[in-house]
Amino acid sequence: MLVSKQQALDYHSGSRPGKIEITPTKPCLTQRDLSLAYTPGVAQPCLEIEKNPHDAFKYTGRGNLVAVVSNGTAVLGLGDIGALAGKPVMEGKAVLFKRFADVDVFDIEINSHDPEEIIKVCQLLEPTFGGINLEDIKAPDCFYIETELRKTMKIPVFHDDQHGTAIISGAALLNGLEIVGKDISKVRVVFNGAGAAGIACAEHYVRLGAKRENIVLCDTKGVVYQGRKEGMNFYKERFAQETEIRTLAEAVRGADVFAGLSVKGALTKEMVSSMAPNPIVFAMANPDPEITYEDAKACRSDVIIATGRSDYPNQVNNVLGFPFIFRGALDVRATAINEEMKLAATRALANLAKEDVPDSVCRAYGVERLQFGREYLIPKPFDPRVLMWEASAVAEAAMRTGVAQKRIDLESYRAQLEKRLGKKYEVSRTMIHKAQANPKQVVFPEGENEKILRACRALVEEKIARPILLGDATKIQGRALDLGVSLEGMRIVDPAASQHRGIYALELFTLRQRRGVTLLEAETRLDNRNVFGSMMVHMGDADALVSGVTQHFPDTIRPALQIIRMREGLHRVSGCYVVVTGEGEVFFLADTSVNIEPTAQDLVEIALCTAHMARRFDVVPRVAMLCFSSFGAIDHPICTKVRKAVELLKYADPRLIVDGEITADEALSPEVIEQQYPFSSLKGGANVLIFPDLTSANIATKLLARIRGAENIGPILMGMSRPVHVLQRTATVEEIVSVVAIAVVDAQENDTYMHPHVPLSVESEIVAEE
C-alpha cells in the first residue's frame, strides 16, 4: 500500500512524537505504591536476584524484553543512513513486536561502524534483556556480529534481516513446491542478491532439503563461481559453483525457483519466460520487487509469484517471523535461537496456510475468501492464529533441542497464547473448551451454505460438535468439493428422502393439530428445513439446532417455538449478547432480540436466564435492572415496572446480586455506587445489564460494537427447552463456531434438567433481529 510523504511524516509526529512509550505494569497512585515501586521496597527483589540471578525473570520484565539493536548501515532500501536516522525503523520494529506478540522492546541505536564496538555494547547489556534482535546492519559485518554474540551470550540473538526473510520465504517455498508437485531436493534455485538475506535464505533452503549444488548465487558482479576474486567473501564462497555461467539471464534459464533479494527490475519478462514449467518467483526487493506481479503473470500464466508488497498476493513479510519466534524463545527462556527453531517456524507457517482462513482475516484484507493455492502460499500477518502456531512450534523445538531453560506444558502454553489474542477470544474459548468435554449432535438447516460448511469443518477438527447438515446430499457434496472442505465427520440428512419423515409428520400433527394443522399440512411443512431440524431436536435425533445465516430471525425461531417450545416454568424466550470491551471487560446484555415490551414478570425471567448464562462463562453475575432513573428518582410507569421486577427477582433468587432501577452509567461505576448508593448490592459495578425494553437493548448493543469498538458474541437465545440458536446473517465462520459451542454446552446441561414437552399458553412475540 502506497502512502504519501506527508502522511508518513504526520503519522510519526503529532502531539506525541514517535511510535512507542513505556506503560507501568503495577499501580503507582499512592504513597504505599511509591514505596513498593522504588525505595525502600525495591531493595527486596534486588537482594533475591543477587542470591539467584534467575529470579530476575520473576521480579523484573527481563523475560519479556528484547533489544532491537542497529547501527543504521543497511536501513531498508535507504542504505547507510546512520544510527540516528534509522531510529524510526527501530521504533517501528518495537511496535510490531508488541502488536503481534506482546513482546516489549527498547530500541538501541549504536553510533559506530566498528563490529567489535557493537558486540561489546550488546554483551554489556545482557543483564537488561531477554533477547537481542539485530537489525539493519550491513553484510558481512552482520554475520560476524551475530556469530560472536551467539558464542558469548546466554540469551537469544537473532538477525532478522537474515533469518526472518529465510523463514517466511522458506514456508512459501515448501508450499509452492507442493502445489506444482516438485521435489525440493531436485529443483534448481537461483538467488539474486548475496547480502545478509540472500545468503541466509540459501542456507535455510539447504536445511529444508535443497541441494547446495543445485543453487546458483548471483550478486552485482554476476554469478558467484569457483575461482572468482572480485567482491567475494567467506560466506559467498560456500555457494561458489564450478560453472561456465556468468550472468543472471543464463542462470535462470531452466531454473525452477528464483529468489530475489536485490533491486527493482533485476528480473525481466524474458528471464521468467526462460524458466522451467510452473516456475516459482520470489521477487522480494523492497519497496519495489525485481519484477512486478503483473509483468510476471503477463509472460507466464503458470508462474507462482511472491513479493514483499502487501498489495500483491503472497506477501513475504518478516512480521510473520520475528515477533512469534521471540515469543516462543522468551517463554521457555531459550539461550539461543537455533536452526531447529527456525525450521519449526517455517513448517508451522507452511502448515497454517493450509487451514481454513478466518473471515476476520479476509475482511482485514478486503477479500471474500483466502484459500491455500497459488495466490495464498503463506498466512497473512494479521491472522491471529500465527501466534499460537508459530510460537508454540518454536518453544517445542527449543525444549526438544536442549536450549530451553524452562520446560512448559505445550497444551497449557497454547491456552496462554490464546489469552494474548484478546478477551473476546479468551471468552469464546471458555465455551469451546467446555463443549469439547462432551461434543453433541448439532443440526444445520442451511447445509449447503459456505460459511456453515467451513464452520462445520472447524467444529469437527476441534472436536466441538458432531454436525448434521440438512439438504440434498449431491448439492452439499458438490459445494464442499468446490470449497475444498472435507465432509469427514459430518452427517448429511436429506429431509425429502429421510426415513423418519413419516414419523416426524405424525408427531408434528400431534403437536399442532389444535392450531389448525392437518396431517397433510404437517407433511408439507417438513419441506422447510427449519421445521425438519426442529423436529430432529424434538425427537432426540439431534441435540441442538443452529440456523439463520440466510434467513430472517422470525423464520428461524418460529418453527422452534412451535415444536421445541420453551423451558418448563418460563413464559418467554429472550436474547442475550456477550459484549467484550476494548479494556477486556465482559458484560451480558438482554433482552436484545425477542421481547419488544416485556412486563415486570418477563424481566424477571430474562434476568434469571442471563445470570445463568454468565455463570456458564465462569462469570459471577451482578445484575443491574436498567432504566432512565435510579432508585425512585422519577415516578414513571417504566421505572415502576423495573422496580417491581427487582422485588420479584430478589424473591425468586435471594442469592442473586441484583439491584435497580438504575441508570446504565451509574450501574457501571463502582465509585458512584459506593459514594451515592452505599445501600446497593452492586458493589464493584454490574456485569449483567437488563434493559426495560427491546429498543434500548438492541440499540445499545449495536452502538457499543460500532462506536466504542466493543466485540459481541451472540445473539444467544435463552429459555428454550432444548438448544436453539439463531445466527445473524452477517455472522462470520468464527462467530458461528462460538455460537455452536454455546449450543453444545446448552445441550450438555439439557441432559440434566431440560424438559421438551411443556404445554404453553403463550408464545413469545417475534421480532426481526437484524
Contact at 8 Å (CB) between 164 and 324? no
**CB-CB neighbours of 380 under 10 Å:** 20
- Listed in order, strand segments (DSSP E) in 414-554 are 440-444, 465-470, 491-493, 544-547
**CB-CB neighbours of 82 under 10 Å:** 14
Rounded to whole angstroms, how far apart are CA atoms 138 and 145? 10
Q: Is 415 exposed, middle or buried (0-12, 13-18, 19+ CB in 10 A)?
A: middle
Which amino acid appears at position 347 of this protein?
A: R
CA–CA–CA angle 376, 381, 385 (5° rounding)? 90
Rounded to whole angstroms, how far apart are CA atoms 365 and 594? 35
Contact at 8 Å (CB) between 740 and 490? no
Rounded to whole angstroms, how far apart are CA atoms 87 and 371? 38
Among 365, 349, 6, 360, which Cα is nearest to 169's? 349
Which amino acid appears at position 689 of this protein?
A: L
Among 750, 732, 742, 746, which Cα is nearest to 432's? 742
Rounded to whole angstroms, how far apart are CA atoms 523 and 498? 12
DSSP letter for 353, please.
T
Q: How many residues make up the chain in this entry?
A: 770
Determine how β-strand 257-260 pairs with β-strand 189-192.
parallel
CA atoms within 13 A on the CB side of 591: 30
Rounded to whole angstroms, how far apart are CA atoms 507 and 592? 32
Which of the residues 38, 154, 269, 463 is marked catalytic? 38
Rounded to whole angstroms, how far apart are CA atoms 672 and 515? 52
Which of the residues 11, 58, 93, 650 is marked catalytic? 93
Rounded to whole angstroms, how far apart are CA atoms 609 and 573? 9
**CB-CB neighbours of 696 under 10 Å:** 17
Contact at 8 Å (CB) between 533 and 541? no
* Catalytic annotation present for 93: yes
Rounded to whole angstroms, how far apart are CA atoms 390 and 320? 9
- What 3-state class would DSSP assign to 96? helix
> What is the phi/psi pair of residue 731, to 5°?
-60, 140
- Listed in order, strand segments (DSSP E) in 34-171 are 65-70, 104-109, 131-134, 157-159
Contact at 8 Å (CB) between 158 and 118? no
Q: Phi-psi bin for 227: left (phi > 0), alpha (psi -120 to 50), beta?
A: left
- Listed in order, strand segments (DSSP E) in 119-223 are 131-134, 157-159, 189-192, 215-219, 222-223
**Dihedral of the CA atoms 542, 545, 549, 553 (nearest 10)?**
150
Cell 514483499, residue located: 308
* Catalytic annotation present for 235: no
C-alpha cell at 369: 475468501
Cα separation values, 92 from 67, 98, 186, 414, Å: 13, 10, 39, 27
Cell 478486503, residue located: 366
Rounded to whole angstroms, how far apart are CA atoms 10 and 568? 62
C-alpha cell at 699: 440499540
Rounded to a whole number, what is the distance in angstroms from the first to the last CA of the chain? 35
- What 3-state class would DSSP assign to 307? strand
Q: Helices (DSSP H) in 540-636: which residue ranges?
A: 553-563, 600-616
520 Cβ partners below 8 Å, 6+ apart?
A: none
Q: Which residues are catalytic?
A: 38, 93
